[in-house]
Chain A
């Protein structure tokens, strides 16, 4: 079974621009979660989507948004990029949602650099 894939793997953007990242979960998985990883803050939860609905959200500003399609693929969008948005963005998929999400399978991440 193919793992979680994320595209692109690397991205360089300028302050003020917006960016869209994509995640394809493992086949059969309907839950997709997004995390941000930075050296200072570590890994932080952004949001989770299940069956095209946002189930819960972390403590990030509204510039961070996402969506999920009927095939469970998910996209994450960051508008009005700031230097502090430079990070590794990780997507994780799981079969179940909420409390049932014991095993989350992570992709390799998208490295975003904002200049």
Chain B
């Protein structure tokens, strides 16, 4: 079962930063935090993952709280192409690495 909590939907304006929150209060020390997104009519797309430290890549940044019970995916400048469902996934340490998707956050971007 998914162990993350995300808002059902969020709205953003184009070219503004977007902060997508995720709560994972039952996280354990070896659990990885993954983010994927799914654009309309496409398969999910890997965005970023982290364990303890904040992470940056070309797509986004991942800010992880010090107690690791929450994290935030940051899109620095939203574009219309960023409109998608964003999934925060807790990948249990010691597991076989399967992704257990929750319902995600549907992000709408307004021009």
Contact A99 B96 (CB under 8 A): yes
**Residues B77-111 near A (CB distance < 8 A):** 87, 93-103
How many residue pairs, one in A and one in B, have C-beta atoms under 8 Å apart? 56
**Residues A63-104 near B (CB distance < 8 A):** 90, 92, 97-104
A107 to B42, CA, bound (A): 8
Contact A90 B97 (CB under 8 A): no
A35 to B43, CA, bound (A): 10
- Complex contacts, B49 vs chain A, CB 8 Å: 102-103
Contact B43 A56 (CB under 8 A): no
- Complex contacts, A98 vs chain B, CB 8 Å: 96-97
A103 to B97, CA, bound (A): 10
Given A102-B32, A106-B43: A56 and B96 within 8 A (CB)?
A: yes
Contact A42 B46 (CB under 8 A): no
The number of chain A residues touching the other chain, given as a range, is 20 to 34
**Closest residue of A by beta carbon distance from B51:** A102
A109 at the interface (CB under 8 A from B): yes
Contact B43 A99 (CB under 8 A): no
- Complex contacts, B99 vs chain A, CB 8 Å: 33, 35, 43, 45, 104
A102 to B103, CA, bound (A): 20
Given A98-B97, A99-B96: A108 and B103 within 8 A (CB)?
A: no
Contact B44 A42 (CB under 8 A): no
- Complex contacts, B32 vs chain A, CB 8 Å: 102
Instruction: Tell me the smallest distance from the CB of B96 to a CB of chain A, in Å.
Output: 4
A8 to B97, CA, bound (A): 27
Instruction: Tell me the smallest distance from the CB of A111 to a CB of chain B, in Å.
Output: 10
* Residue among B34, B43, B98, B101 making CB contact with A102, cutoff 8 Å: B34
Contact A33 B98 (CB under 8 A): yes
Given A42-B102, A42-B103: A101 and B43 within 8 A (CB)?
A: no
* Residue among B45, B93, B97 making CB contact with A100, cutoff 8 Å: B97
- Complex contacts, A90 vs chain B, CB 8 Å: 43-44
A21 to B45, CA, bound (A): 21
Give residues in B with beta carbon < 8 Å to A: 32, 34, 41-46, 49, 87, 93-103
